[in-house]
Amino acid sequence: MATGTRYAGKVVVVTGGGRGIGAGIARAFVQNGAQVVICDKDESGGRALEQELTGTVFILCDVTREKDVQTLISETVRRFGRLDCVVNNAGYHPPPQWPEETSAEGFRQLLELNLLGTYTVTKFALPHLRKNQGNIINISSLVGAIGQVQAVPYVATKGAVTAMTKALALDESRYGVRVNCISPGNIWTPMWEGLAALTPDPAATVLQGTMNQPLGRMGQPAEVGAAAVFLASEATFCTGIELLVTGGAELGYGHKAMKGTLVEVPTIPS
Ligand SMILES: NC(=O)c1ccc[n+]([C@@H]2O[C@H](COP(=O)([O-])OP(=O)(O)OC[C@H]3O[C@@H](n4cnc5c(N)ncnc54)[C@H](O)[C@@H]3O)[C@@H](O)[C@H]2O)c1
């Protein structure tokens, strides 16, 4: 139910919108008056959200399949007559893996989803976005800029998403299409919960993930949704930016000292 009008009358596609951050983004746009096409490769979450949220339509679509993506965009325009914003959120973080545990095949599959999925949806959407001076929001990750242990392929795909955002912002500026990305820190979602469950001590993993933020908690999908609505609506002079939604997680050194992980002060040899 719309309680705001910041994006009223606009049409938004959210990939991976069936759960987690994507569902939070879909909700935020609906709350601000938009009509939202929820794209997901899994039916259950997206169908439930479609039932719950007036102004949404679910379309089953795997963003790694070009034919699916073509249908996603053509169906969106057929039903709603326009397209104003695409949020490329569908993505995956593999379980922790040391470099020697990675494979070229696994890396390639992750690129297909996290990077090329974003590229393909963008490519099919651009002709429609150009008509309305619309915008694209790519969901990248803080770790694309600062790195992450045991996550070489994931970090590489997200670094590439941020870089692609900037290149595309330049190219699309001549059409007035803005292209930005959001880099979340730790956001509490089914994916985060699932990854924590694979670790020897899930509760300790969640606590560590929580304490990585100076704000002392994980973010909520709704908070990423609020950032996305801001970028799509009010941020009319922002293009090519990376908006950090991280609770300050990148402000590492002083924060680590405060939370007591730097307990030993090294003595300087005389
Ligand atoms: N949760 C975090 O802490 C965090 C932090 C930084 C970045 N991100 C990024 O945010 C995005 C969403 O993450 P999340 O935590 O909500 O994950 P999630 O697994 O909880 O939800 C992802 C959704 O995307 C869908 N999806 C996956 N592959 C797809 C495909 N090929 N086609 C269409 N849909 C597909 C899934 O079915 C699922 O509904 C991802 O790109 C992730 O890398 C998450």
**Residues ≥6 apart with Cβ < 8 Å to 89:** 14, 15, 16, 17, 21, 22, 25, 139
Which residues, 6+ apart, have CB-to-CB distance to 225 below 8 Å? 21, 24, 25, 26, 27, 28, 29
The per-residue pLDDT for 262 is 41
Atom 36 in ligand 1: residue holding the nearest Cα: 16
114 inside domain = yes
* Average of per-residue pLDDT across 209-234: 96
- pLDDT interval class at 2 (50, 70, 90): confident
Q: How far apart are CA 267 and CA 75, in angstroms?
A: 66
Residue 202 covered by a domain: no
Q: What pLDDT, in 10s, does the model give residues 77-96?
A: 999 999 999 999 999 999 99
**Domain-embedded: residue 58:** yes
pLDDT at residue 68 tops 70: yes
**Beta carbon of 118 within 6 Å of any ligand 1 atom:** no
**Cβ(90) – ligand 1 distance below 6 Å:** yes
Nearest to 13 by CA among 160, 126, 182, 174: 126
Residue 208 domain-assigned (yes or no): no
pLDDT at residue 259 in the model: 58
Give the domain extent around 154: 11-187+218-248
Judged against a pLDDT cut of 80, whether residue 264 lies above it is answered with no
- Mean pLDDT over 152-159 rounds to 98
pLDDT of the residue at 270: 59
**CATH number, position 182:** 3.40.50.720
CB distance 210 to ligand 1 below 6 Å: no
Largest distance between two CA atoms of the chain: 75
Q: Quick check: is 106 in a domain?
A: yes
CB contact set of 73 (below 8 Å; sequence gap of 6+): 13, 83, 121, 124, 125, 128
Mean pLDDT over 198-224 rounds to 96
Res. 255: pLDDT tops 80: no
pLDDT in tens, 112-127: 999 999 999 999 999 9
Pocket probe for ligand 1: among 37, 44, 73, 92, the residue whose CB has the most ligand atoms within 8 Å is 92
Determine whether the shortest distance from the Cβ of 18 to ligand 1 is under 6 A.
yes
Total number of domains in the chain: 1
Reply yes or no on whether the pLDDT at 265 is more than 60.
no
Does 189 contact ligand 1 (Cβ within 6 A)? yes
7 in catalytic set: no
- What are the helix (H) ranges across the chain? 20-31, 43-52, 66-80, 104-110, 118-132, 143-146, 152-172, 190-197, 202-211, 221-232, 252-258
The reply to whether 139 falls in a domain is yes
Closest atom of ligand 1 relative to the 186 alpha carbon: 3
How many residues in total does the chain contain?
270
Please state, rounded to an integer, the average pLDDT across all residues of the chain: 94
For position 253, what pLDDT does the model report?
60
193 assigned to some structural domain: no
Q: How far is the CA of 215 from the centre of ligand 1 (A)?
A: 23
Kindly give the distance from the C-alpha atom of residue 261 to the centroid of ligand 1, in angstroms, as a whole number.
30
Whether residue 110 lies inside any domain: the answer is yes
Residue nearest to atom 18 of ligand 1 (CA): 191
pLDDT of residue 267: 60
Question: What token pair was written down for 263?
Answer: 């307990």
Q: How far apart are CA 135 and CA 62, in angstroms?
A: 21
